[in-house]
Structure 1
Amino acid sequence: MMRTSFNDGWQARPKVNPFAELSGTHVPFRPVTLPHDAMIGRARVAPGGEATTEGGAGAYFPGGTYEYRKTFVVPEDQRGKRILFEFEGVYRDAVVYVNGDFAGQRPYGYSHFYVDADRFLRFGEDNEIRVEARTHQDSRWYTGAGVYRDTWMLVGEVVRIAPDGVRVTTPDIDGERAVVEVATQIANDSIAVRTVDVVTEIRDAGGCVVSRDVSKATVLPGEPATVRQRLYVQEPLLWSTDTPTLYAAGVTLQDLDAETVAFGIRSLRLDPERGLRINGETVKLRGACVHHDNGVLGAATYARAEERRVQLLKDAGFNALRMSHNPMSKAMLDACDRLGMLVVDESFDVWTSGKSEFDYSLNFPEWWERDIEAMVAKDFNHPSVIMYSIGNEIPETGSRFGAAWGRRLAEKVRSSDGTRYVTNAVNGMLAVLSELGELHRRSQETAPEDGTGINTLMADAGDMMNAISASALVTDRTAESFAVLDVAGMNYAEARYALDKDLFPHRIILGTETFPTRIDGNWHLVEQHGHVIGDFTWTGWDYLGEVGIGRPQYVSPDAPRPAHTAPYPHLLAGCGDLDITGHRRPASYYREIVFGLRTAPFIAIRRPEHHSRTYAGSPWAWSDAIASWTWPAFEGSPVTVEVYGDADEVELLLNGRTLGRRPVGAEHRFRTEYDTEYEPGELLAVAYRDGAETARHTLRTATGPVRLRVEADRPVITATGGDLAYVDLTLTDPDGTTHTAADRPVRLEVRGAGVLLGFGSADPSTEERFDATERRTYEGRALAVLRPTGPGRIHLLASAPDCDPADVLVTVEEQP
């Protein structure tokens, strides 16, 4: 079917009760361009305010109901054709009306869906499409709201290739040739029997035809036909994370229809000795869990935003993403294919047992099969997708009926796609939550003399989850739920890795969610055990909502224990290796060292204002260290320096004066610490192995006048296709050192062929808005995102107090 973007020309507003409108209530529509997050532009609300808030889970944004409308014309010559609208994502409880009539709905906010519209249309006249979406206490994280992913208009003949109707598999591969099976579903909505020629061509990355086949297909009225063609590609170039080579399969139905899909040629194997093998080579998954929001853009899903996230995460050392806890966007899947990032795509955060007052559990019994089908249809041709997860921390997994549900979901996935593996991210503690009282009683009876019972373990959430997950109770209650899977996904349960090698010798384990503070020990287990295929940290990229779960905390008389959720106006979770602007935090460099991907040491400084306080962060929380040696007003004050490294030892030098050598490396958790006094100048870490220097890392104090530097990620972008320009705004000294202690407001002015789409910083607690033209920097940095409005040039001018103005030009070209 002919596929045209349907993103332009929309209007949106908070929905008004029609009876209230008759009484004089007026809420105007305002123009919007999709994708659009209706929530991110609303004022956040402190608990107890007049508006209903989504609480800390939703970053204190208000919920609500939103209404979108668009007027469009369908030419008279399209009468008699099939016309569909595709929505890649509407959050949530979407209802679609065409010319005032109900045309379709989708309760789940993360499934793409189609609306069959031609029966409702007026050809040659104006038509109106209206979409309603609502969100209210239905999630444990920031969801956004509205039509937040791309929309499309599909026009086709009555005999056509069905949407998502071309599926490609590569069942047989060797060095000489690869078998490529192309299955095409053809629909016939006419009243006549039709016989068509199905021409399929496979093209390589250069566009050359490398294989071709022609088949005849007779399609009966109202009875779709599946045409399977077996083609052969000689000397195939295999898709992998290092060489993500893509091919294209183009299918043509004479003069009726044509469809082209990208795919990769690669093989998957799995066993408990050699783990996961891709193209015959064992691959350990260096994984990052990621939520779906795009930071300063909220939930709005632009192709460039997704591509940038994937690229920066790969640059930081990850080779796999787990989309948590919902199906990944098409744009991010495309980016993972192109850039070579493996994907575990996840279906649901809830089944029948709700976690929020009005979440998807209310719709799951009726809709789960259709939503599984939508996820698989979206993912099928993407070589990056290696595994489907049927759930996350589902409480039902500890019961017989929950295991039966797991079997239903797993078999549904397998019947839709037998080429990938199935997992489920099981939290052992949640699976036996109702039994914890009995577990507590048993632990008291068998507590060791040193007092390390469950009460002691409760002081540390990580130890507690591990102890419970490794218990005989969890072993018994989760056995069937794990048995229905290809891969046992385990959240915060590394204590089971070695245990299950003996208890369940055929069980293959994936750490589907782990604490970032334990990556050194977890990664050692991954490398040590063949049946453990990888680790996914929570999280790779920081996100909106679940506010403060990764924030540094300190013991005080008012707060003797760390609180899970931070109070308003906290905004971010605070546990990402990368912050919401894409800047790498110290934990990211530590992880890169643990993975064996970085030889240079790394220096991070704990904030000196907290030097004498007792740290009490959660296991999701890194220390409050940042990579800066600029601390004005703290000259002569005590400060702690963290040094990470994979070497025999590291030496720290302050202004050329040695502070001593310390052992680092695996036996010392790849880290050491120095206590010293802050003294402006240069801080240098030198790593040594076998007595010889291997690498060094330097921090310098920012000095002199503060300058505002503005830099776009690319000088040229395209006018369409979801492209964006990302502009970094940094406060520096004259030598380019970031001035992390000179934060100030920055004001932006944008002119030309673009608009300011979002503007913000990584400040974890602020009342500033992402749709403002002025924001304060955080640790010397801010980020602006520009959306092109057509070909031309975008001019961004930035100004800040006591700084010279700075500007940047971005050229916008038509898409080739």
Structure 2
Amino acid sequence: MRFISAAIATLVFASASMQAQRTIVPINRNWKFTYGDIENAEKKVFDDSQWQTIHVPHDFQIHQPWVAPAPDEMPDSDNPVANVRSRLSSRGFKEMGTGWYRKTFTPEPQWKGKRVLLDFEGIMLVGDVYVNGERVGGTDYGYLGFETDITDKLKYGQSNTIAVKADTGKPENSRWYTGGGLFRDVKFVITPADRYFTRHPLFVTTPVAEADSATIVVEAGVFSTPANTTPIATRLTIYNPQGEQIFTNTSKRNFNKRQNPWEYILDSIKVKQPQRWSCETPVLYKAVAELIDSTGKAFDKVETNFGIRKIEFSPEYGFKLNGKKLLLKGIANHHTLGALGAAAYPAAIEKRIKLLKEYGFNHIRTSHNPYSESFLDLCDRHGILVLDELYDKWLTQYAGGRTSWEDQWQYTIPEWIKRDRNHPSIIIWSLGNELQIQPEIPYGDYGVTPYMMQKPLVKRLDPTRPVTVAMHPHGRGMDLDSEPWPLAKLTDITSYNYRYMFFSNDGKRYPHMNFYQSEASASAMGPNFFEMDLDKNIGLAYWGMIDYLGESNGWPEKGWTHGVFDISLEPKPTAYFLRSFYKPDEPIVHIAIKGKRKSIDWNGIDVGTATMSDSWNLINGTTADIYTYTNADEVELLINGKSLGRVKNNTTDSKQRNRILWKNVKYEPGKIEARAYNASSAKPVATHKIETTGKAKKLIATADNPNWKADGTDLQHIRVAAVDNAGRQNMEENSLLEFSVEGPAEIIGVINGDMKSPEMTVGTSRSLYNGTATVILRSTPEAGNVTLKVTPKGNIKGTTIKLNTL
């Protein structure tokens, strides 16, 4: 073991280490695409000149029209409350289908004699890959990537063709909107032919991660052809978060052809005064591993970021990060990105992460499949703790649908764990969701045997994190004295969807259990937080806090509508209620005008939520029930300066805590204001006011990305709002907007918060909803000036915004 100090800086990225021959070539741009199952589309010689030119990431399903329910699926006239839950309601009312992608390329001459791989981060939902007409690989579970060796398939000095067939499967193959196609990155990976690092080869652990000292252990996977029996020489270099080299060492090991590929420890290093990763200080180290020849020159090189951090779980305190108790304040959502569908754009992911952090979230559960690699990179950078989930249910139906789940998991688990295990943001592995009630799960014992089979494989690949599965709420009713499911007794973390009320009794009966509320409903928001033992439980993840496509409660809604942010990322008033207890040290008050509530059954849980509004444009002579959300001691409500009195925040009642209800408040045009006070403060600690607005007169446009990169992938989200003469947003304005762009950028998404809208999320027009809409621009690889013009249909003044890509 070597002892080093993180404060010692040496040369950064020595030039010798930059000569590695591994080459990564992104091939995201300029694919040819067409929708439909086209005969002979895999052939090398095929006329695709009339196909559309697209750029990856790409979700072809988001471009498909909405599919309304058939007449026999419409509600019974005698039962108008019945929802239209057609065969496509869960999958966003988009038709299932096939898409074909083709790309023609000429291999570089320097690739000769090398090993050439095609690497797909995912193909949704299942996919097949062809090179020059021959099938060379594919995926039966599109949420995970794969590589395929095409070294012997290439024809040098002439054009070669990659063809990809992507199939969304049948409606029953997912319970949510999946999207379709090449929704994540594609690249060539070129390595040496006879000795190289394997796929996802590095594994970095920090078995000691104390404030004054840490140990870093780096393992690597190496493959060598049997003919190459020379010792394996490696060089390991570690860089601190400032980019300073703090360690380097070269070592040799004899090749063992009986163990090939070979996984072994490169080195074990001790770091004094480490910079530890946390939610507040998400600092990252880097490990660089090289295979070197007798002259010291690198011929293969891989690297990974990692964090030094300590995680602990116990029924006594729930979860600790770096020795401090931390409550998971989370969200459980699907992987899609609003107007972009499933296309995994890092900028759109980062926008959501920043929004969640702003409102107090520190945790995301990847429901119910692995997210993109860029998502995990961003969670590392922004200090978000992740529960990384592999599957929905352990059924072929939900695992792609064309290959038995029993034949998949042995291969999906290694790809998943090896891909993700160096991310410090990940603290728990979850093998599945809502499992233990289904006898049709293989082996007929409600998931016990499948779990016991999978867990050892997870632990072999990563012994540092606990393993869980999320338990379905059905099966126990509300009998708090009932026996937990057998599977619940076996998991490292006991995860219940919605049934937090079982934690206390189950914990008394089985003291080893450590509890996590893997899904919490928005309809019970507040009680399902405050009624947990926050000192002993791990935390919770609220379901669907960002509205999303799919899992509709009935046409014409295209998806889930019970989040605290709408699908265009506008916060609803309830976002401030959540913020009041997710960020208890930040004084807050927010006014919400209460609307109607509709009961909706979801897995035996009433997930229906009341409509809340920020608008004070009501009908003269009416009254309204009003909530003021606050974490202060009391709130005063005023209308046009006249006080309606002060009301205390009833913190002893979980159903009233942080939300004060003012009933039958008479509407008066003008201003309604809430002032929050603490007992120790004579002045308000927080205020919020909303005003009656005049007619919308003009549009204002606000861009979100000041460092817009000209890389062909980076995005600019531009929020357009209708305002009156005083600059106040008019939430009644719903004019249609037309968008046009000039310069090196293109429109790839248009969205508002209305899930019932018949408008598409692609195109060049979108109506305002609650006075806002968002247009999303994607850069091209050329830098330059970009002008977006917004033209409304009606008497509102349009707007133009000038931007530039860097």
Q: What TM-score, normalized by structure 1, do the two folds share? A: 0.87
Asked if 2 retains the 8 angstrom alpha-carbon contact of 1:714 and 1:810, the reply is: no
3-state SS in 2 of match to 1:711: strand
- 1:540-555 pair list within 5 angstroms: 540-547=545-552
Q: 2:16 corresponds to which residue?
A: none
Find 1:72's aligned residue among 95, 105, 111: 105
Q: 1:519 corresponds to which residue?
A: 525
Per-residue CA deviations over 1:60-112 (Å, capped at 9, x if unaligned) read 10000111111011123312211111111111221111111010121112011
Q: 2:622 corresponds to which residue?
A: 637
- When residues 74 and 528 of structure 1 are mapped into structure 2, their CA distance, relative to the original with a 3 A threshold, is closer
Asked if 2 retains the 8 angstrom alpha-carbon contact of 1:652 and 1:685, the reply is: yes
> AA paired with 1:338?
R
Q: 1:678 corresponds to which residue?
A: 667
Asked if 1 retains the 8 angstrom alpha-carbon contact of 2:42 and 2:163, the reply is: no
3-state SS in 1 of match to 2:353: helix
Q: 2:747 corresponds to which residue?
A: 756
3-state SS in 2 of match to 1:537: strand
Q: 2:285 corresponds to which residue?
A: 247
Asked if 2 retains the 8 angstrom alpha-carbon contact of 1:707 and 1:803, the reply is: yes
- When residues 215 and 736 of structure 1 are mapped into structure 2, their CA distance, relative to the original with a 3 A threshold, is farther
Q: 1:554 corresponds to which residue?
A: none
Please state how far the C-alpha of 1:190 moved relative to its aligned partner: 6.5
Find 1:579's aligned residue among 566, 574, 577: 566
Aligned length: 745
Please state how far the C-alpha of 1:303 moved relative to its aligned partner: 1.1
Find 1:400's aligned residue among 442, 445, 454: 445
Matched, 1:280 2:323: yes
Find 2:577's aligned residue among 570, 578, 590: 590
Q: 2:176 corresponds to which residue?
A: 141
- When residues 342 and 193 of structure 1 are mapped into structure 2, their CA distance, relative to the original with a 3 A threshold, is same
- When residues 19 and 617 of structure 1 are mapped into structure 2, their CA distance, relative to the original with a 3 A threshold, is closer
Per-residue CA deviations over 1:215-243 (Å, capped at 9, x if unaligned) read 11333568222341112222100000011
Q: CA separation in 2, counterparts of 1:754 and 1:721?
A: 8
Asked if 2 retains the 8 angstrom alpha-carbon contact of 1:140 and 1:546, the reply is: yes
Q: CA separation in 1, counterparts of 2:49 and 2:105?
A: 22
Q: CA separation in 1, counterparts of 2:94 and 2:454?
A: 33
Q: 1:599 corresponds to which residue?
A: 587
> AA paired with 2:183?
Y
Per-residue CA deviations over 1:654-681 (Å, capped at 9, x if unaligned) read 1011223223242332212222232221
Q: 1:271 corresponds to which residue?
A: 314
Please state how far the C-alpha of 1:302 moved relative to its aligned partner: 0.8
Q: 1:132 corresponds to which residue?
A: 165
Q: CA separation in 2, counterparts of 1:16 and 1:650?
A: 61
- 1:315-714 pair list within 5 angstroms: 315-352=358-395, 354=397, 360=401, 362-396=403-437, 400=445, 402-429=447-474, 432=475, 467=478, 470=480, 472=482, 475-476=483-484, 478-479=485-486, 481-530=487-536, 532-547=537-552, 565-567=553-555, 569-595=556-582, 596-607=584-595, 615-616=598-599, 619-631=606-618, 634-667=619-652, 668-674=656-662, 675-690=664-679, 692=682, 693-703=684-694, 705-714=696-705
Q: 2:27 corresponds to which residue?
A: 6
- When residues 575 and 323 of structure 1 are mapped into structure 2, their CA distance, relative to the original with a 3 A threshold, is same
Per-residue CA deviations over 1:372-398 (Å, capped at 9, x if unaligned) read 112111211100000011110024567
Please state how far the C-alpha of 1:26 moved relative to its aligned partner: 10
Q: 2:77 corresponds to which residue?
A: none
Find 1:794's aligned residue among 786, 792, 800: 786
Please state how far the C-alpha of 1:519 moved relative to its aligned partner: 2.9
Please state how far the C-alpha of 1:694 moved relative to its aligned partner: 2.8
Asked if 2 retains the 8 angstrom alpha-carbon contact of 1:73 and 1:127, the reply is: yes
Q: CA separation in 1, counterparts of 2:499 and 2:347?
A: 35
Asked if 2 retains the 8 angstrom alpha-carbon contact of 1:53 and 1:63, the reply is: no
Q: 1:300 corresponds to which residue?
A: 343
Q: What TM-score, normalized by structure 2, do the two folds share? A: 0.88
Q: 1:556 corresponds to which residue?
A: none
> AA paired with 2:202?
V
Please state how far the C-alpha of 1:794 moved relative to its aligned partner: 1.8
Find 1:117's aligned residue among 150, 169, 177: 150
3-state SS in 1 of match to 2:610: coil
> AA paired with 2:70?
G
Asked if 2 retains the 8 angstrom alpha-carbon contact of 1:213 and 1:231, the reply is: no
Matched, 1:45 2:70: no
Q: 2:736 corresponds to which residue?
A: 745
Q: 2:11 corresponds to which residue?
A: none
Q: CA separation in 1, counterparts of 2:236 and 2:418?
A: 20
> AA paired with 1:157?
P
3-state SS in 2 of match to 1:335: helix
Larger displacement relative to structure 2 (149-158 or 618-627): 618-627
Q: 1:436 corresponds to which residue?
A: none
Please state how far the C-alpha of 1:211 moved relative to its aligned partner: 1.8
Larger displacement relative to structure 2 (758-767 or 221-230): 221-230
3-state SS in 2 of match to 1:414: helix
- When residues 807 and 363 of structure 1 are mapped into structure 2, their CA distance, relative to the original with a 3 A threshold, is farther
Find 2:114's aligned residue among 57, 68, 81: 81
> AA paired with 1:424?
V
- When residues 730 and 597 of structure 1 are mapped into structure 2, their CA distance, relative to the original with a 3 A threshold, is farther
Q: CA separation in 1, counterparts of 2:153 and 2:490?
A: 44
Matched, 1:262 2:268: no
- When residues 791 and 406 of structure 1 are mapped into structure 2, their CA distance, relative to the original with a 3 A threshold, is same
Per-residue CA deviations over 1:536-558 (Å, capped at 9, x if unaligned) read 101222110111xxxxxxxxxxx
Please state how far the C-alpha of 1:483 moved relative to its aligned partner: 2.7
Q: 1:164 corresponds to which residue?
A: 200
- When residues 361 and 122 of structure 1 are mapped into structure 2, their CA distance, relative to the original with a 3 A threshold, is closer
Q: 1:226 corresponds to which residue?
A: 263
Please state how far the C-alpha of 1:121 moved relative to its aligned partner: 1.1
Q: CA separation in 2, counterparts of 1:784 and 1:53?
A: 30
Per-residue CA deviations over 1:472-511 (Å, capped at 9, x if unaligned) read 2xx25x13x1232110110011121111121111100100
Asked if 2 retains the 8 angstrom alpha-carbon contact of 1:188 and 1:220, the reply is: no
- When residues 173 and 25 of structure 1 are mapped into structure 2, their CA distance, relative to the original with a 3 A threshold, is closer
Q: CA separation in 1, counterparts of 2:205 and 2:532?
A: 30
Q: Pick the structure with more helix per residue.
A: 1
Q: CA separation in 2, counterparts of 1:292 and 1:591?
A: 21
Asked if 2 retains the 8 angstrom alpha-carbon contact of 1:752 and 1:793, the reply is: yes
Q: CA separation in 2, counterparts of 1:188 and 1:528?
A: 52
Q: 1:91 corresponds to which residue?
A: 124
Matched, 1:811 2:804: yes
Q: CA separation in 2, counterparts of 1:597 and 1:109?
A: 42
Q: CA separation in 1, counterparts of 2:585 and 2:198?
A: 45
3-state SS in 2 of match to 1:301: coil
Q: CA separation in 1, counterparts of 2:184 and 2:388?
A: 17
Please state how far the C-alpha of 1:723 moved relative to its aligned partner: 1.6
Q: 1:194 corresponds to which residue?
A: 230
Please state how far the C-alpha of 1:705 moved relative to its aligned partner: 4.5
Q: CA separation in 2, counterparts of 1:234 and 1:160?
A: 32
Unaligned segments of structure 1, at least 5 residues: 433-464, 548-564
Asked if 2 retains the 8 angstrom alpha-carbon contact of 1:647 and 1:665, the reply is: no
Q: CA separation in 2, counterparts of 1:50 and 1:500?
A: 46
- When residues 769 and 422 of structure 1 are mapped into structure 2, their CA distance, relative to the original with a 3 A threshold, is same
Larger displacement relative to structure 2 (705-714 or 594-603): 594-603
Please state how far the C-alpha of 1:359 moved relative to its aligned partner: 5.1
Per-residue CA deviations over 1:661-713 (Å, capped at 9, x if unaligned) read 22324233221222223222111111233273332211122225522011110
Larger displacement relative to structure 2 (681-690 or 506-515): 681-690
Asked if 1 retains the 8 angstrom alpha-carbon contact of 2:365 and 2:389, the reply is: yes
> AA paired with 1:810?
L
Q: 1:783 corresponds to which residue?
A: 774
> AA paired with 1:575?
H
